[in-house]
Chain A
């Protein structure tokens, strides 16, 4: 659960955020402190794929928000994770 792209999409699902706000939010809900380079590497790739988009800069800080494609990608990823969690939980319970 430390894929930076997925963490960013999850964070942006509660509304637009700039880089620093993303780092704080991800730290809070996932307990993962991303490095600034890792964060912006993931932002670059997500923007290239059209999953997030920049909003007008607030002074020098630029917020990002999910696109429709980003929302669909997040839903798809979470659905896949739910299946893994379900299977893993069932198998773990059977083995103990």
Chain B
């Protein structure tokens, strides 16, 4: 039962956790109840993930994983598509690349805009709030770097697995640290506009990746692995959907 409670953010658990557990103990714990609690818990996390542009930052982090899976999947795709039929997949692939560059630039611009206010906030008490998330993220990055070094020295399965796990953890940990820091800064209208750009690029990449997939598999049905496709599609769609929820409530 306490595992279900982990779906909720820490601050919510501190306020409502005990009484909520008391309620759960009085209810028959069916699968429907479990699903209801999980959905509500993640909804609470979503609401607590800061202003809408910061939610788009989380969405971008999710999308990056899908993008990396797509990048890996699409390596050497030209080999399996005849020269005369490469028009559509090339256009779709280029659209993904351009949208990725625009989206990355928008995220970096958002960070750059927030940076001047950050040192001031750190001096006025923000240091305490960001210290733990930054420490966690930095530690994860160091472990990921060490695992990468181990991969370079001798390609073994454990080092690769540790690297992937900690690289992903680092991505989310740095996103969390950035969100914790940015939540303390005054909101900027430019961030809402940049969030819209990032959301649009995610939508373009998702559609273009689907078009690329359709046109490539028409020539080589087994070219794209099911696992890679599942990872790419899941994270791209999840990222786009999360960004859309952020924009829906954004004061544009």
Interface on A for B, CB 8 Å cutoff?
A: 18-20, 23, 35-41, 43-44, 57, 59-62
Contacts and interface: CB of A to CB of B under 8 A. Distances in A.
B75 interface: no
Given A35-B37, A41-B40, A57-B18, 10 more contacts: A18-B19, A18-B23, A19-B23, A23-B23, A37-B37, A37-B39, A37-B40, A39-B23, A60-B18, A61-B22
A61 B43 contact: no
Nearest to A54: B19
- Dominant secondary structure of chain B at its interface with chain A: helix
A41 B23 contact: no
B22 A40 contact: no
B123 interface: no
A61 B20 CA distance: 8
Main secondary structure of the interface of A (DSSP, over half): helix
B44 interface: yes
Contacts of B26: 20
Nearest to B25: A60
Contact of B19 (A37, A38, A60): A60
Contacts of A19: 19-20, 22-23
B16 interface: yes
B150 interface: no
Interface string B10-37: 0010001011111110110000110011
Nearest to A57: B19
